[in-house]
Structures are given as structure tokens and as C-alpha cells.
Amino acid sequence: MKRRAGAREKKETKKQKLLEELGESWLPYLTSRDAEFHQLWKTRYSKLLLRKADKIPQELHHIVQEAFLTLQKHDCFFQDLVRIKGKDFLTPVSRILIGNPGCTYKYLNTRLFTVPWPMEDYEIKYCHPELFTACKALIKLNDYLNIEAVQALQEQNLSGTKETEDTAVTDREQDFSNFIKGSLLEDQSSLYTPRNDSTSLKYRTSYNLTLLNYMDPLQMLYLKQEPYFGMGNMAVSWHHDENLVERSTVAVYSYSCEGSASDKVNEQDVEGRDPADWHVGLKVAWDIKTPGLAIPLHPGDCYFMLDDLNMTHQHCVLAGFQPRFSSTHRVAECSTGTLEYIFGQCEVALQNLQVDSDSAALSLKSLEVQVVKEVEGIHNEVEFEWLRQFWFQGKRYRKCTDWWLEPMAKLEEFWKKMEFMTSLVLGEVGKGEQTMEQRNEIISCFLPLLTERQELRKEWTARCQCQLAMSLPEEQKPKCHPLWNDDDPSMPLPYDLEEVIANLQTLLE
């Protein structure tokens, strides 16, 4: 957690430095109306691929757009209450995560849990048949985008050598003096993946989930203005997508609802992008020399951020006038984000708990420092990365399916056992049967984890009671689960954590 906080601080420092360098001026950017637009795209943003709507099967458009409207009809889109630099914010965009059963995706300190799409060997009960149809449509879109992404990467790999040579020539010939002076940056898009690496290509395009977005700009009281180029209203600020498999492709299907002719702006009257149209904005990360790019998105267009583009560049979403849906397909880095993983962690922790065959009394197998440290670390992970994250999002997941309720109930049972294991460690320390050196060694590894637990419990309690949380509709309000309600006599905790920490600190003195 501290490592992530440090990374965010570095990004904020870079951002402030960039804004200071800019002063009152805007950086240049190009739109499709500019003569140099396509040349800039080819030389500086070549790993952004746009697939226009008329190149995508009409039947796929139909079922996907119907799926969007179905999910909206059943109130399945929610604004996320995210945590940024210690403060809570409601996202302007409403979202729902759909994907492989048991998968999660974390962004801005918020873990989203997939509404599972239909897959063999999984029994998934949807709250309405229409939701099954919608999720089935999205996995069809997922399969299509997977095939397209593999093909696009293969084509880039085959032309990699030639493209690199062409870029070098073009850089010498192309004059951007109207926009920048002395740009010597090499195109970071010239880094190509190894040829014939079909396994790698498949791995980096095997989308395991999609984050769906919806926003109606005219219903928003305020939209943040793009700060570097003067591109106008932003639906999503500049960012790299988080928690993805390295060099994996992100595929986005965009559908902005059709507007009337009166919504269009006379292009001759506008400098820069047409504010009536949705755009994806791109820039080289933390670079003030290369012009940015604003690419218009029409209903049914798809774009692909290939290979390392998400690492070397940043993107934003620029709002138009009409409501817009999007389906953003990702290869989420799920090594610590699946039910299989967290159940495996619980199994490791509970191996240190044993039952007496005669008395049925519970005891610990080992008080070795590394064992205690591992178990208590897993204890914190289950509580703060899973249970509190899930209940903090209220009853939203019941809108689509009850699939998550049973596994989360199992996690709660595992958590209760780990709470009891903590009390057993405390009991052993209190007996004084170890040497002072052994006791202090246990306390020294144990205390930081308990202190972190206490601090995070206070933070989550405050988040559940904050004004933004209380302003949410009833079914979306964070659920203060009775497991952590100290005032509920029916669910007592086996120890007072604050008192325990104070006692352990005294023993170490």
C-alpha cells in the first residue's frame, strides 16, 4: 500500500512540474481536421489502432448496443466511491465490471467484483433473463476483440523492421516547427514485440474482463477541464490503466447515442476538437514536446491500445454532447485478485490451526515468527482487500446476480477463524512461557500488522460514514457489516484491538 502511495506522489510531483513549465500556455494538439494529424499518429502514436464502425459486423453492433441499454434499464451502472490521496470521490462515470467468474479488478483503491459472464462449468443465476442475454453479448464482443487484437499485433510485428526504418526517415523529413522546436524524442512506439511469439500474443490479448462505462454529459453539474492542451470537457482524466498484465492490449468499444443535427457544431467556428463529439485523447507520458492527439469516436468505433502504449503514453476520454457507453476489455493482472487465489491464502493460514481430537479445543500448531507473520498478513488481506471492499459497495451486485454471496460468506467464516487465531497468539504471549527474547521477537513481527489493522478499520469506518457515502441511494450505501460492529453484542470480537496494541507496546519497552 505504501509503495502505491509513493508512486501516486511521484505522479503528482511530475504533474505539478509539468503544469509549472506550461505556465499560462497550452500545449499543441492535433485533430482529424489538421493536415499533419495522420503523420503524427503514424510516427508518435502508431500503437493506437482505430477500427471504424463500418468494419465491424452489424450483428455484433446490434447485440452489444442492446446489452448496454438492457444493463441501463436494470439500473446496473454505478458511480464508484474511490479513494485518491486520502480523500473519497464519486466517479463522474458510472460503471459495471463483467468478466470471468471469481475475477476482480482494482483501480483507485477500489476492488470491483465481476458480474460473471456465461462460461462452461459455472452455474450463474441472473436476476432477469435479459441480463443473461446482455452478458452473453459482451463475451461475444470479447471474443471478437481478442481475435482482432491478435491480428493487429501480428501485423505490427511483421512490419516492425520496416516501420522503424520509415519512422527514422520521416522524423528527419517532417517539420513540426509550427508546433514545437527541437523535439528529439524517439517514438516509443518503435518498440516491437518478438516475432512469432504466438503464446505471448495470446496471453496479452486474452481479455478476462470488461469494465463498462456510461455517462450523460448533460446530466453532469461539472466536468473537469483538460489541463494541458485545452481540449475541453473530460469524462475521464489523463491516466495509464492500472493493474494490467504487462504489455497487454486494451480494447475499447465505444457507443455514443445518436444526437440531432442541432447538436453538431460548425467546424469552421471551432478551434481544436469538435466539442459535440466524443474523443479519446493521447499524449506521450510527461512530455511537453510532442503534440497530443484527439481522435474522434463515432457510434460503434473500436480502438486498441497495443503492446506497451498504455505504459509509455497516457490517455483521457473527452466528453461530447450525447450519452455514451463503452466496453473496455482488459487482461487484468489477477495473480492476487481471484477467488481461487484468496481461498488458497486462507487455506495456508488455517493450516496453523489444529483441533484437539478429545476436547475439540482449538490451538496453534506453531508460534514461529514467520508463521505468525504470514497468517496475520493473510488475515489483513482477507479483511481489507476483500470483505470490506465488497460490503463497502452496498448491495449493487445483487442487481445482476447473487453469485458472489456464497463465496463471500465463506470468506467471512475464514476471517472469523483467523480472528480467533489472533486471540490465540495473544494468549500464548500473555502466558509468559517463552523467553523474553522469543516473546519480543513474536511481538515485534505481530505488532505492526495489528497496528495496520487498527488504522485500516478506523479508515474504513470513517469512509462508510462520510457524507458522500451517506448521500448514495439506499441500495448503494456502504454496508457496515456486523462482523465489525463493536456495539452489536451478538457479534463480539474476541479481543479489544486498541487495548491489545497498547499492552504489546508496553511489553516491548
CB 92 within 8 A of CB 220: yes
What confidence tens digit (pLDDT) does each residue in 398-416 have?
999 999 999 999 999 999 9
- According to the model, what pLDDT value does residue 201 have? 87
In a domain, 66, yes or no: yes
One domain, residues 357 and 323: no
Beta-carbon count within 10 A of 358 CB: 6
In a domain, 171, yes or no: no
Please name every residue paired with 317 in a beta bridge, in sequence order, or none if there are none: 236, 280
d(CA 455, CA 90): 23
One domain, residues 360 and 284: no
What confidence tens digit (pLDDT) does each residue in 380-400 have?
999 999 999 999 999 999 999
Residue 217 dihedral angles phi and psi, to the nearest 5°: -60, -35
Question: How many distinct structural domains can be found in the chain?
Answer: 2
Closest by Cα among 57, 192, 60, 250 to 139: 60
One domain, residues 343 and 305: no
In a domain, 459, yes or no: yes
One domain, residues 142 and 278: yes
Q: How far is CA 135 from the centre of its chain?
A: 20
Domain that holds residue 233: 1-158+200-259+271-330
Residue 177 dihedral angles phi and psi, to the nearest 5°: -65, -20
In a domain, 194, yes or no: no
State pTM to two decimals: 0.87
In a domain, 99, yes or no: yes
d(CA 113, CA 139): 16
Q: Residues in the chain, how many?
A: 509
One domain, residues 249 and 343: no
d(CA 233, CA 278): 10
The domain boundary residue, chosen from 330, 353, 375: 330
Percent of the chain with pLDDT over 70: 83
What confidence tens digit (pLDDT) does each residue in 40-91 have?
999 999 999 999 999 999 999 999 999 999 999 999 999 999 999 889 999 9
Confidence of residue 482 (pLDDT cuts 50, 70, 90): low
What confidence tens digit (pLDDT) does each residue in 275-326 have?
999 999 999 998 889 999 999 999 999 999 999 999 999 999 999 999 999 9
- According to the model, what pLDDT value does residue 118 have? 97
d(CA 77, CA 93): 9
- According to the model, what pLDDT value does residue 172 have? 33
Q: One-letter amino acid identity for 412?
A: E
Mean pLDDT across 127-156: 96
